[in-house]
Structure 1
Amino acid sequence: MNSTKQHINNPLNTTGFKSYPLHFQPIFKERIWGGNKLQSIGKKLPGNNIGESWEISMIDTDVNIITDGVYQGKSLAELIDLYPNEILGTKVYQKYGKQFPLLFKFLDAKTDLSIQLHPNDELAKKRHNSFGKTEMWYIMQADENARIILGFKNDSSSEEYLEHLENKSLPSVLQEYYVKKGDVFFIETGTIHAIGGGVLLAEIQQTSDITYRVYDWDRVDEQGKARELHVDLALEAIHYGKRNPKIEYVKQEDQSVELVDCPFFTTKIISLTTVYKVQKSNDCFLVYICTEGSAKLSIDQESFDIKQGETILVPAQLSQFELKGEATLLEVFINKI
């Protein structure tokens, strides 16, 4: 993210926090199902089979590094440790402490991901001392006939599920959705799901890396080994009822349209054609994901670029700015604090 850099001359250890949009070095993850489609949104990939680009993360050792401005070279964790209220916001810090509560990714599924699910907060806390993993997907690109799996076609049960799992017929009772650019899905904890091959998407989720894999299409790696399954752990975590995860919405030029509003995050979509003005409190940060086009975030006389495939963190302390350009942006914050 390029910027006019008049303000970027303060050392880190000054008493005041310097408030500007933060851009991070992505953390790339090689996956058995990954490809090279992330290049199409501007990523310089370190190798083949790159399935994930972690854009903003504070999970264990996967902590993103700031790439520009006065805090260039510092990690998100270091900055939050020094300036928790200024970065996270007063209410977010009060609730979550010095933990960034969300994880932002781009995913490229060259082939099908495993069929999996994530536990809720209560179960994840008890078993793993972790948050649960509520998430949402925004489809950025999909090949012809690309699909995702989300939930059961009809209300099911643990007995029916186990029978189909044993017979390797589990996909036959799961709901498939053929997808296209702009489709949005909200995946509550316990929802059995998989991203199909040919799908590129943006993912917004709770800060958690707890996944229960239940079926992996009988795949093996180069050494002939199958990946670990978590069938027993999943039994108690699965939601066996039918769900309706697809979000219907209508874009409105230069306005924000709500996609998801849940206890863990709120996501809106902005179809930017000219100018979108923001005035907010210091209760919470904002994150912008640019899924298409490019824009500038302007603060007084300063401006900062955000291009397709980039994700920026607007610190809570930065309360007034404008977005200008032609772009599709996802705006994410925590509303229910």
Structure 2
Amino acid sequence: MDSYAWQGYDSIAKELQARIDGLSHRAAVLVIECYPTVRQEEIVQAIRSRLNPAKIVRSDEAAMTGEQIKARVQRYLTDDRVFGHLSPYTIDEFYPQDRLEELRGEVSSVTDGLVVVIGFGASLVAEGDILVYADIARWEIQQRYRSKEFGNWRMDNREEDTLRKYKAGFFFEWRMADRLKRKLFSRIDYYLDTNVKDDPKMVTREALTAGLRQTASQPFRLVPYFDPGVWGGTWLEEHIDLPPKEKPYAWGFDGVPEENSLYFQYGPVRVELPSLNLVFFQPRELLGDRVYARFGAEFPIRFDFLDTIGGGNLSLQVHPTTDYIRQTFGMPYTQDESYYILDSKPGALVYLGLKEDVNPEEMMRDLRRAQAGELSFPAERYVNTYPANKHDHFLIPAGTIHCSAADCMVLEISATPYIFTFKLWDWGQIGLDGKPRPVHLEHGEKVLQWDRTTSWVEEQLINRVDQVGEGAGWSEERTGMHEFQFIETRRHWFSEPVLHESNGSVHMLNLIEGEEAVVESPNGDFEPFVVRFAETFIIPASIASYTIRPSGPSEGKKIATIKAYVRP
């Protein structure tokens, strides 16, 4: 499909010029709608030098000023460093009509030659003869925030705290930009991948749609990324073949559609796009009718890695209850989760639940004193600790105090609202930016479930393994989640092929034991798909059934997967 994809500004400009030459009128309008933090100036310079436009109109110049935008959205952004409230805005609310009319007049005044309209909101200025959508992956946006290359849209805040920039993106900009993207998608002529500096890739909408459809009909993986952290360990670097970092890797994001991206290959051209685009534009095929009806175009499950082997403790933390997250932050569901221990060292621990007869006032007083630097919070006085061994599964319904201590390699299986962690105690650690990481005792105190004590935890949350099926060379175990949580997890041990049925839900899996496995279609509906140890992969709901068997170096050996899906 290389005739539908182009790489580099020279070939992209040649394709656009051919489209312009094919128009029946002398004045042509090229609209380039941009996601926030796309390098617009790079595109403008490339277009100017290759297409010689008669006029370039920058739509952002007609938008409200940063101060006006900030004043309008402040109640959603709040003064908190991390948390805001999901905002309902659409892009047109930040473009005064009189200024739009001025720009439209500039466009219509050109009677001969090319007019280029570019910006976040360019599609408000002109419909255009050709519409290009310039996109960027969420992880790349974060890198541009961190490097201070970009601040938030229309804001002069490149030097601001990265957490605050991320907050404005998460609660305001990205929601608004995604609404616009979904509205425009059926109209665009071309999709422009702007993730790599000076190396754009462009595909037709038809080719992109074909790629999305194909992905939603076969097993696939997301493009993973790995990030250092204050408590980072050594496992990820040693087992995932990652380049050494000055600070150790703490996070591995291998199954987070809100953040990860996808690669599409068109002949020699590899296009990178946010994996959210698949959720937006193939929701029923990916999620299944039942899950889509419940959650809308949102992927409700995530897998990620937390590496503390040779590192330190995660923060002692709690996640908000569903009612609290809805009322306080506007999220429809909360971050129920679990820790699946992919590996550990002797002596590794997990903190989970409160000890019997804990006095809430006394514990909160000690947490406040610890936050003030008056003492080191005596976590073991208040919180249970349990040995964490390989293949243990700890269930963590929202409202339960928890923490992975050092020397654990955790596969975290959770619902998707992933930034809503209320840190209660951070062991005196300082963030990689040199600042103390935010602690939210005022939120945590309101959601802590004080009745989640030792007896309840040991009965309800630790290794609740029930065998639910077996056959020749395989067995299936229910390992969770808790009845309070909408995610179900199943572990399969197998040395022979195992049949899985989707039952109307997308599946997310990880190969938790063994070097290699292959996913196959009983009916030949997709090509065999190979996965390796610790890799997360997704089976769209459109696949009614599939098999997984040991392959390569694992052939004939007993291996294991863990699977998560939305309960009926």
What TM-score do you get using the length of structure 1 for normalisation? 0.88
Cα deviation digits, residues 32-59 of structure 1 (max 9, x gap): 1012311343252573321111122244
Q: Distance in 2 between matches of 1:222 and 1:295?
A: 37
Query: RMSD of the TM alignment (CA)?
Result: 2.4
Deviation at 1:155, TM superposition (A): 3.9
**Percent identity of equivalent pairs:** 22
Residue pairs, 1:165-184, within 5 angstroms: 165=367, 166=369, 168-184=377-393
8 Å CA contact 1:155, 1:240 repeated in 2: no
1:127 and 1:69, CA in 2 relative to 1: closer, same or farther beyond 3 A? same
Give a deviation string over 1:207-235, Cα, whole Å, max 9, x none.
11201111111223577642221111111
Corresponding residue for residue 12 of structure 1: 208
Conserved? CA contact 2:237–2:244, under 8 Å = no
Counterpart in the other structure of 1:128:
329
Following the alignment from structure 1 to structure 2, what is the Cα–Cα distance between the partners of residues 41 and 335?
32
> Under a length normalisation based on structure 2, what TM-score does the superposition of the two structures give?
0.54
Q: Compared with structure 1, are the counterparts of its residues 296 and 15 closer, same or farther at alpha carbon in structure 2 (3 Å cutoff)?
A: closer
Kept in 2: contact 1:289–1:330 (CA 8 A)? yes
State the match for 1:318 in structure 2. Answer: 543
Contact 2:219 2:538 in 1 (8 A): yes
Q: 1:205 to 1:43 in 2, by over 3 A?
A: farther
Distance 1:45 1:330 in 2: 27
Correspondent of 1:295 among 517, 540, 554: 517
Q: Distance in 2 between matches of 1:216 and 1:54?
A: 22
Match of 2:356 in 1: 154
Give the 3 Å change call, closer, same or farther, for CA 270–41 of structure 1 in structure 2. farther
Stretch deviating more after TM superposition (44-53 or 150-159): 44-53
Distance 2:462 2:345 in 1: 19
- Larger RCO, structures 1/2 (Cα 8 Å, 6+ apart): 1
Between 202-211 and 319-328, the greater mean CA deviation after superposition: 319-328
- One-letter amino acid of the counterpart of residue 313, structure 1: I
Structure 2 equivalent of residue 328 of structure 1: 560
Kept in 2: contact 1:190–1:239 (CA 8 A): yes
Select 1:103's aligned residue among 302, 321, 334: 302
2:480 aligned with 1:260: yes
Structure 1 or 2, whichever has the larger Rg, is 2
Read off the aligned partner of 2:565 and give its amino acid letter.
Answer: F
Q: Which structure has greater strand proportion? A: 1
Deviation, 1:249, is: 2.4
The structure 2 residue matched to 1:87, chosen from 286, 289, 312, is 286
Q: Are the equivalent residues in 2 in contact too, given 1:23–1:67 (CA < 8 A)?
A: no
Partner of 2:138: none
- Which residue of structure 2 lines up, in the alignment, with residue 220 of structure 1? 430
Residue deviations 1:126-175 (CA, integer Å, cap 9, x gap): 11222311101111111111111001121434213223323532332210
Give the distance between the partners of 1:15 and 1:108, measured in 2 at CA: 34
Query: Does the alignment pair 1:198 with 2:407?
Result: yes
Cα deviation code 1:44-98 (max 9, x no counterpart):
2573321111122244xx2x12246779633321112221100011011111111
C-alpha distance in 1 between matches for 2:347 and 2:379: 20
CA drift of 1:284 comes to 1.1
Match of 2:262 in 1: 66
In the alignment, the residues of structure 1 paired with residue 328 and residue 500 of structure 2 have an alpha-carbon distance, to the nearest angstrom, of 40
The alpha carbon displacement at 1:16 in A equals 9.1
Q: Which runs of 5+ in 1 are unaligned?
A: 1-9
Q: 1:222 and 1:67, CA in 2 relative to 1: closer, same or farther beyond 3 A?
A: closer
Residues 221 and 189 of structure 1, relative CA distance in 2, 3 Å threshold: closer
The structure-2 alpha-carbon separation of the partners of 1:292 and 1:39, relative to structure 1 and needing over 3 Å to count, comes to farther
Which protein has the bigger helix share?
2
Structure 2 unaligned blocks of 5 or more: 1-205, 370-374, 551-557
